[in-house]
Amino acid sequence: MHKQQQTGGVVLPIIIVVVAVVLFAMFVPTGGRAPSPDQQQEVAERIQPIGLVEVKAAASNGPARTGEEKVYKAQCAACHAAGALGAPKFGDAGAWGPRVKTGFEALLNSALKGKNSMPAQSGGAASDYEIARAVVYMANQGGAKFDEPKAPAAAASAAQ
């Protein structure tokens, strides 16, 4: 019994001292200065997010907002400029010839729904009308003589 009383008598003061030190550390100011603007800038740079999420409205099928060349450069050139993954190279009449013979509608269908290694372009940043204009642009550079597609009627796009 004697040992238990001594242990209890030593533990309680230690706990009190530890709690007092913790409370003292929490409530006593550190005496340091406020960080300088340079330090604040460095901290802001270190904790900035790695990426951002940008939410855009879905593309409408209304009249073109961008030129067909811009759509080509944004969505098609990655493969068609170099002829990557079996894509017909931009301006290569020999590669485009067999595809042009299938007609504009077949080419547009392939572009919108995807074919082989080419992903579907429909539903992306460009409207289906803009994709159609880009298809005409690419095919005509490869020897086709397709007419510019007609812009969808305002009433038809409003109904969708």
Q: What is the pLDDT of residues 26-82, one digit of tens each?
A: 877 666 677 788 988 998 888 888 777 777 766 555 544 457 888 888 888 888 888
Question: Residue 101 domain-assigned?
Answer: yes
Inter-CA distances, 19 with 13, 49, 101, Å: 10, 38, 86
Computed over its alpha carbons, how large is the radius of gyration of the chain? 34
Question: Residue 154 domain-assigned?
Answer: yes
Question: Residue 92 domain-assigned?
Answer: yes
Question: Residue 13 domain-assigned?
Answer: no
In this structure, what CATH number is given to the domain that contains residue 81? 1.10.760.10
Q: How confident is the model at residue 9 (pLDDT cuts 50, 70, 90)?
A: confident
| pTM strictly above 0.85 | no
Question: Residue 11 domain-assigned?
Answer: no
Q: CA-to-CA distance for 148 and 90, rounded, in angstroms?
A: 18
Question: Residue 82 domain-assigned?
Answer: yes
Output the pLDDT for position 19: 94
In the predicted structure, residue 123 carries a pLDDT above the cut 70 = no
Assess contact for 68 and 80: CB atoms under 8 A: no
Question: Residue 131 domain-assigned?
Answer: yes
Domain that holds residue 133: 68-159
Looking at the structure of the chain, the number of domains it has is: 1
